Structure formats: C-alpha cells, structure tokens
Amino acid sequence: MVLAARSGDVLDDIARELGPDALAVVTDVGERADVENLAERAVAAFGRIDTWVNVAGLTVYGPLREIEQADHERLIRTNFWGTVNGSLVAAEHLRAGGGALVNVGSIASDLAFPFQGLYAASKHAVKGFTDTLRMELIAEGAPISVTLVKPASIDTPLPARARNYMDREPMLPPPIYPPREVAAAILHAAEHPVRDIVVGGGGKLFTAGKEFAPGAFDQLAPAIIAMQKRKDPPREPEGALHAPRNAGRERGDQPGYVQRTSAYTRASLHPLASSVLGIGVAATVAAIAVGGGRRRS
C-alpha cells in the first residue's frame, strides 16, 4: 500500500502501523509532478500498480458571491485536477497489466448543495471526467475497470477542515454514515469491476428524488443551508484548504446520530439485491412525489 497526502508526519505514522509493505509519499495531488513521482515511487517499491484510488478532497462553506477566487481555485485544483492527474498517471501504468481505477466523487456529483457550490461543481466535474475516461478506455480495449464511488454524508473531519465563510461552525446534512462504508465500497471496486457505487441509502433517495422532481429539490435550498450549520460559532475558519491542519483523524465530531452501517450500500454490492433495492427506491420516490402532488392540489 502506498499512502499519499500533504501531511508527511501523519503518513509516516500510518505507514509504521501498517508495516514494511506500506510506503508514505508526501504528495499534493493538484501538482502533476507530485503525482508522477508518487507513481514512480510505487513502481520502484512494489514492481507495479494494481489499484489506484483518488480520494483527496476539500470543501468551502459559504455563499458563492463571498468566496475569494484563490479559495475557489485551490478547491478545484485538489478535487478536480487532483483526480485528473491521478487518473491519467495511473492509467498509463495500468494499461500494461490491467487493474482498477477508483475515483471518489460524492452524491454532490448529481446534486447541488447551496453554500458548498464549488464543492458540488468539482464533484460534477469529477463525474464527467470519470465517465469520459471510462468510455475512452473501453474504446481502446484497455484492461482497466473505472469506478466512481459517490458517498453521502460521511463522518470524517471534512467540515472541521473546511474553509468557512459562514457565521456558524459547519456540519454535514444527515443522515451520516461511518467512513468504513466508503472503505468497503472502494475495496469492492478494487476486486470487482463495477461502474459506480452510492454509499448511503439516504444519498440514493436524495439523488433519485432530485431526478424525479428537480424543481421541488431546488425549493429545499433554505433547509439544506440550515442543515449545514451547527449552533456553535466558527472554530478555525481558515481550515486546511491551502495547507494541512489537524490531519490524521478518521472520524469527525458530527453532532447527532451516525449510522452504524449502510444496509443499502452493502446490499447494492450484490446484483440480485441491487435490482430489488432499485425497485424499492423508485417506488418510494414515486410515493413521495404522488403524496406531494396530492397536497399541492
């Protein structure tokens, strides 16, 4: 396993825990040269690359009109260009012997989130890039599976490390799922070619509802903004956008209940259960929409 992030001391600690088969390489994924060095170090240490996971991500909370251009650009450089750099470098190595490329997007790849506008835009871009790369690899017959993992709200320190323009400490909108659910999805994608995986049944319902009734979803903007604000004042509004800060923690301090697992995601990794779940989600969304229509009339 090769670990890459901006925080060298944290990477070294994790590599020591994992043992001699782990290598830590300080990397800013927004820099193509850093990513190329990462791949070269991995091949030099282990001979080849089997699976490449692009998971680096940052966010900024606040109205689009208030966010400084430098913050917009840093977010896009990490979330989008980091994925582009990693994917293109990985594909060059995976073409020879085959393997898996796993990009971590978000349900924000399919949804807009007010007060996280550039985050949603970056994840939309990651989806478009990933889908295009997959098609091009299929066209050339490259033995590479390409998976987009789309988590819902996950209990990581992402909000605490965000650049924050709001007057309150940020948080994730519920329901919240544990990080191990994303890890399980990534591992599954490394072992089984699958196009995409949504982590969290709540996220699947949101995206299905938005597709079924996009105008109704737009009207949820005030509620979505409110669900991203804690009662506390901002703690560290600068966050880790431009430089590492408070790195090394797996879990966040999300207020409220955190799901212990995602039954939807675990079931969706099995084809038969996935078909049944798809029918169930469609029926639920239809029922909600019909109920809403009756209330309006």
Catalytic residues: 119
CA of residue 101 relative to chain centroid, distance = 14
Give 1's DSSP letter.
-
Kindly give, in sequence order, each residue whose CB lies less than 8 Å from that of residue 137, ignoring residues fewer than 6 positions away: 91, 144, 146
- How many DSSP H helices and E strands does the chain contain? 11, 10
Rounded Cα distance, 202 and 153, in Å: 9
Rounded Cα distance, 281 and 201, in Å: 9
Of the candidates 145, 125, 48, 116, the residue with the CA atom closest to the CA atom of residue 84: 125
Q: Which two tokens stand for residue 98?
A: 């085959």
Kindly give, in sequence order, each residue whose CB lies less than 8 Å from that of residue 219, ignoring residues fewer than 6 positions away: none
Helix ranges (H only) for the chain are: 8-18, 32-46, 69-76, 82-97, 117-140, 179-191, 201-212, 214-218, 221-226, 263-268, 271-296
